Structure 1
Amino acid sequence: MNILAVAIADCMGFILLIALLVSSRVRRAKRDLELKIFTYITILTMVSCVVDFFSFYSDGKPGKLWHFINVFANTFCFMSNPVFISCWCLYEDIKLYNSKARVKRIYTKAFIPAVIMVIVAFLNIFFPIIFYIDEANVYHRLNANYAFYVVDLGYLVMSIVILICYEKRYGKAKFFPLYLMMGPIVLGTGIQAMFYGVSLIWVSLAIGLTAIYMSLQNEFSYLDTLTGLYNRAYLDYQMDNFLKDKNAVIGAIMIDVDYFKSINDTLGHSAGDEALVDVARVIILSKPDKAIATRFAGDEFIVLVNNTSHYEMQNIIRNIREELKIFNENEGRHYKLSLSLGYAIYDVAKDDRDGFFRRMDDNMYEEKKLKHS
């Protein structure tokens, strides 16, 4: 055991996570459930980096205090390990699906292995089956400690399955490259399992969390904070990607909220914000999975669709109108939402981006004129 190497690894993990917590303070102010869970996971890993160091530093030191620290530190690390990996699956699930009903249905059972491992780690203090500390205060691991690696592997597989099922149903998950998280964890855990006296689990978790957070920053910069839809910057980014394919058939729908100024003036800006959120919800419920819903500016929204057709675009508009009707009939707001819509298909031979958006905008205003005439 090289205590200096352990200290460097755990210190690096601790510093990475401190930087992560400091840089994420603005996002955490939103108090979203997914951000809370991510923060708790980060704090747990940060504390574990410190405790892990003391588990190695106290090993072999004489005295009752060092013996207590050795037992406590190793017990804590074994208890926190399944908590981390199970909570990671929970975070991933909420991040991708955003469904509390799904969480309740799945995780009342999915947490059972983690809870069992936590209980086993605690009972190990009295009935050693995972590790024991001898009279010289030296740590010895027992064969049952490999059960924790098996449980970790099970949750890692679950994490992969969650992502695969999501992408099979909804398409590729944007800004959530799971391999950035999985790579360091699998490597660090595997090395520590094979080589006694090596401490890499917690620093590998810290690296994985930091990599994921850095990727999620891209999402934060591309999201409209009010509606949760993508913003204009992301619309431009995706248009650039789509236009790289010279054979792409790109369609877009411009959506404008009718009488929005009246809602603001009559009911106040909070009602106006609520109306924009409601429009975003209507769009999300109406669009196909491959379509990208964005808040373009103010009370204007754009739905961007690649590899599309006139029939599909007209069908999306029809779905939006039907969903809007359902909303107005059932939600009981102090206002009735009304939307003007117009779409265009990008003509590679004739269009540039400005012309494409202008045609779409003109088509939307043709409908708006009919409403006001």
Structure 2
Amino acid sequence: MEPLFNLESIYVTNVIGIVLIAVMIVCNLWRFQTRSRADQNLLLMMFLALTSCIADPISYSMKGVPGLVPKIAVYATSTWLFAANMLASFFWVRFLSFHLNGGIPRRSRIVLDSIVAVGITLLLINLFTPIVFSIDEDNLYSRTNLYAFFLVVDYLFVVYSIVVYLKARAKGGILKFFPIWVYIAPILIGGMVQSLYYGISVIPTSIAISIAGVLASLQNEMIYHDQLTGLFNRSYLNYLLDKLTDRTKLNITGIMIDLNGFKRINDELGHAVGDDALVITARILKSAVGNAGSVVRYAGDEFIILLNTQDDVAIENCLARIRHSFDKFNKETDKPYKLFISVGFHKFDMKNESADAFINAVDERMYEDKEAFYAAHAEMNRRKR
């Protein structure tokens, strides 16, 4: 029986996918040593794409070949491909959630895990009763009724990832960004083509292309991140303020934070301890601000928070959370230092104010608070303006 597919094209497509993933792994080994939750999920996506590119040509090579061993090979590889496609979409949702929001809500996690559990259960049942796909006496594969379940789930996860992205942007305004289309577009196109035309195998390689797009986007993001603290850096602030000046309807408030007595920490405890203080400061600010805005390391021990609001109550609540968080740290810490801050804020008037004037206004408000602090704590004043 003549096969309904071109093995040579399938081999070439999947070899391209394997080479692409191998290059991505080699070029991103440093990333996976960080062990962040987002990177862990990205690594799992790469593993699934790699194994799928290996399993796919094996599956097609064994289809139509008589015998028990080819039958087992077709069952095993086809089962894995269904599971891998579903899990790749699942880990994509997890990656995006951790990357944008730092985690997944418990209720959402339960729903997502349950869907995956159902899918795995159906595939296990399919090994004994063909409800997802079947293999005939000639070891040829055909789809059955519950094939649609996996198609729906794959697209459901993609849709959910879009919801996660839109919610992140809604909470952070344009202060949140990640081009999710670089992942979604190849997946959607590959899935539609393979679903409509049996014998064309492009999904594993499509996933590999999507992951390459994600890694490229993450690489671009690094330009805007401070290596020590992981916060956005001054380059991102400049980029963002340039965009904001064209959007006069947005409501943005700037808060500048400066560490009081930071020079004393560096001089007496060393720069390594000073770096530790900066990292902890960044962690405190990110936790206190949450999804209300973005935290930027402006310069040295100065930080700028861009809040996506000009509501007085929201601003005061944010300032209260920040001060409370530092007070709590100072009461509970076993570090050889304590962290004291000066704070100033200013609402960005985009119609009548330049970005430079906005930064200068925030800076002046912060220094007013700093002067008041040092007036009450003269012994800590080793820093001059």
Report the TM-score, using the length of structure 2 for normalisation.
0.82
After superposition, where does 1:60-209 map in structure 2 within 5 Å? 60-99=64-103, 102-103=105-106, 105-172=107-174, 174-209=176-211
After superposition, where does 1:248-287 map in structure 2 within 5 Å? 252-287=254-289
- CA shift at 1:337, angstroms? 1.3
1:294 to 283, 293, 296: 296
- Return the letter of the residue paired with 2:42: F
Quickly say closer, same or farther: Cα 1:57–1:244, change in 2 above 3 A: same
- CA shift at 1:125, angstroms? 2.7
1:23 — aligned with what? 27
Looking at structure 2, the residues matched to 303 and 124 of structure 1 have their Cα atoms a distance apart, in angstroms, of 53
Quickly say closer, same or farther: Cα 1:176–1:358, change in 2 above 3 A: closer
1:230 counterpart = 2:232: yes
Cα deviation, 1:230-251, whole Å, max 9, x if unaligned, reads 0111111112222345788875
Q: Do the aligned residues in 2 keep the contact of 1:124 with 1:130 (CA within 8 Å)?
A: yes
- CA shift at 1:254, angstroms? 3.2
Q: Aligned with 1:143: secondary structure? A: coil
Quickly say closer, same or farther: Cα 1:341–1:206, change in 2 above 3 A: same
- CA shift at 1:257, angstroms? 1.0
Q: Aligned with 1:171: secondary structure? A: helix
Quickly say closer, same or farther: Cα 1:276–1:148, change in 2 above 3 A: same
Looking at structure 2, the residues matched to 125 and 333 of structure 1 have their Cα atoms a distance apart, in angstroms, of 57
- Return the letter of the residue paired with 1:34: A
1:368 — aligned with what? 370
Cα deviation, 1:96-119, whole Å, max 9, x if unaligned, reads 22137x35x532342122222223
Quickly say closer, same or farther: Cα 1:142–1:318, change in 2 above 3 A: closer
Identity of aligned residues (%): 32
- CA shift at 1:285, angstroms? 4.5
Q: Do the aligned residues in 2 keep the contact of 1:171 with 1:289 (CA within 8 Å)?
A: no
Quickly say closer, same or farther: Cα 1:260–1:158, change in 2 above 3 A: same
Q: Do the aligned residues in 1 keep the contact of 2:100 with 2:168 (CA within 8 Å)?
A: yes
Between 1:271-280 and 1:41-50, the stretch displaced more is: 271-280
- Return the letter of the residue paired with 1:36: Q
- CA shift at 1:312, angstroms? 7.8
Cα deviation, 1:293-334, whole Å, max 9, x if unaligned, reads 211122121224577599987776565434433443455544
- Return the letter of the residue paired with 2:160: M
- CA shift at 1:182, angstroms? 2.0
Q: Aligned with 1:222: secondary structure? A: coil
Quickly say closer, same or farther: Cα 1:300–1:39, change in 2 above 3 A: same
Quickly say closer, same or farther: Cα 1:359–1:130, change in 2 above 3 A: closer
1:37 counterpart = 2:10: no
Between 1:247-256 and 1:276-285, the stretch displaced more is: 247-256
Q: Aligned with 2:146: secondary structure? A: helix
Quickly say closer, same or farther: Cα 1:134–1:28, change in 2 above 3 A: same
- CA shift at 1:252, angstroms? 3.6
Q: Aligned with 1:85: secondary structure? A: helix
Q: Do the aligned residues in 2 keep the contact of 1:175 with 1:218 (CA within 8 Å)?
A: no
Looking at structure 2, the residues matched to 346 and 113 of structure 1 have their Cα atoms a distance apart, in angstroms, of 45
1:48 — aligned with what? 52
1:341 to 340, 343, 365: 343
2:223 — aligned with what? 221
- CA shift at 1:185, angstroms? 1.7
